[in-house]
Structures are given as structure tokens and as C-alpha cells.
Structure 1
Amino acid sequence: MSRRNQFKGICHDILGTFVSRYNDHDGYWSLGQYVALLERLGEGQLQLKLRDATETSDGRVITVSEEYYRGAVLRMMEANSMPKVWLANATIKVSIIAPAKVACEIEIVSDLGRAYRSERTITVRPHDPVIELRRTDRFGPSNQKGR
């Protein structure tokens, strides 16, 4: 029998894949692209809404990531025999906390109003295609490659 406290494990697992170097978009590490976007916008925090889509003109990488991770949460809930109605809200936040450091946090709120969270601090520099090598292979892990 499934329990809502399984959201704790889902938070941990989703955040692990989110901060992973295998989380790439267009061949580059997504987290570096988020930091570059934040710097370009002059903001300190970015929020991916996993329940409803975010409207951004700048952020194709955001839209793709939201779509992927929204599906990932639902797939993990299904694998744990959790009804979709248990998911009231879910967000992933990326906050710049120091030069080359970001805090990444996922929060899932159940239908009963209880929030489940997981957080990690990651060293990352902004995406720069001039000095980064682009992932060009079609094989191997990439979090957002498959749906």
C-alpha cells in the first residue's frame, strides 16, 4: 500500500537527477544554463513549476525541463502506486548563493498540505559555449533525452 511519505524519496531521487551532469539540454549541462539565464536576467532565483507551466520568453531550457521533471514525478508516483490526486504542487528552485555556488531545492506538496523537501548545494559556473564541450553523442545517459 502506498503512502504519501514516499514523496520524500521522490524528492531525493528527482533532485539527484536534476543536479546531475547527465541533466543536459542541447548537449550542455542544464544547471549551467540556468545560472547563465539568471545572470542574463539579473535575478538570483529561478523556479520550475512542475504542476503548471511557467511562462517565460527567455527560457526554452526551463520549459523543456519543467515538462520532463513534471513527467518524472508522475512516473515515480505511478511506479509507487500513488494516485495522481495526491500531488497538489511541486517546484524546483535554483538560487545563486555565492559565486559559482547554487542551492537547488525541490518541494512536493501533497493533497493534505504537507510539504516534502530535498536540497543540495552545487558548485557550478554559468554556461559558456566558448569554453565548454558540447555533448554530441546520441547514446548514453541524458536525463531529458527520453520521456
Structure 2
Amino acid sequence: MGRRRELGSIASGIIGSFRSRNNDVDGYWGIGKLYLSVDHLQSKCVSIDLCSQQIAPYYPHFDHMTERYSKMFKRLLVKHSIPFEWISSAYVYVEFEVDYEDRHHNWRSALGNPCNLVCVVVDDNGKMICSSQTGHFIKRHFDFQS
């Protein structure tokens, strides 16, 4: 049987994969497409429920991505021998257009615009496990039809 403290590693793995360039949506970087989908909204946030495969705000373009990360989360639980019953909720939050923090900038990379990525897992005891990363997304270079 797995240990609940391993949920932190799972959350970190989800965020690491989500932030990477391998997060592909229709041939484009997933974070860039997510930003484009909320660019016109006042709230520049996206929430993905890993348990129910729901995304808010909803755009059908992201159905495959939400399904992929939900399955990844469940696979990681199985790999770590953690029963799904131990999970009350699990979310990925992405917040765009956050304040720039110099300490998060890699001097060899393009600056882009900062965004915060957080994976929150709540177990059946009510304990909240969070993993977060600050990323950067490059300004729009394609059009997105919503």
C-alpha cells in the first residue's frame, strides 16, 4: 500500500509534465493555447479537475488534454499503490499574466510572460498537497478559434 506523502511527488510530476513543451494541443504548446482561450476574459485563470476531467472555462479543444492528464494522474496513483478512494479532489490551476519575479527567470531563456501553475491534491483526511511552478509563455504567434 502506498503512502499519502507520495501524493506530493505525483502532484509535482503532473505540473512538470503540464509545463513542458510535450503538453501538446493540436500541434501547439498547451499552455499557449490555454492562454489564448482566456486572453479575452477578465480572469486569466484555468482550472482542470483531474478526477472528473472537467476544465473551466470550458472549450472543447481541450477535451483530449484534460482526459490525458486525468488518466496520467490515475496511472500515477496506481503506480504508487495509492487507492483512488484516498483522493477527495485533484486540480491543476493555471494563472496567466501574473507579476514578474526576477528569481524565476532563467537567464538563458526567452523571457515571455509569467504564469503560475499549481497542482492541488486533497486527500480523504482533508490534507491539501500542493506543487507549484512558475512558467513563462511566449506572446501569441498563432490564431485560435474558440
When normalised by structure 1's length, the TM-score is 0.80
Moved over 3 A (4+): 55-58
Deviation of 1:95 after TM superposition, in Å, equals: 0.5
Instruction: Give structure 2 stretches of 5+ with no counterpart.
Output: 100-111
Q: Read off the aligned partner of 2:49 and give its amino acid letter.
A: K
Shift of 1:110: 0.7
**Larger RCO, structure (CA 8 Å, separation 6 or more):** 1
> 2:108 — aligned with what?
none
> What does 1:84-99 correspond to in 2, within 5 Å?
84-96=84-96, 97-98=98-99
Name the CA distance, whole Å, in 2 between partners of 1:105 and 1:29: 18
**CA separation of 1:58 and 1:9: change in aligned 2, threshold 3 A:** closer
User: What is the root-mean-square deviation in Å for CA atoms of aligned residues?
Assistant: 2.0
Superposed CA offset, 1:36-85 (max 9, x none): 11103342211111122436685124322221111111100101111110
TM-score, scaled to structure 2? 0.80
Question: In structure 2, how many angstroms separate the alpha carbons of the residues matched to 1:8 and 1:46?
Answer: 21
Q: Distance in 1 between matches of 2:139 and 2:90?
A: 25
2:130 to 112, 117, 121: 117
Count of aligned pairs between the two proteins: 130
Match of 2:106 in 1: none
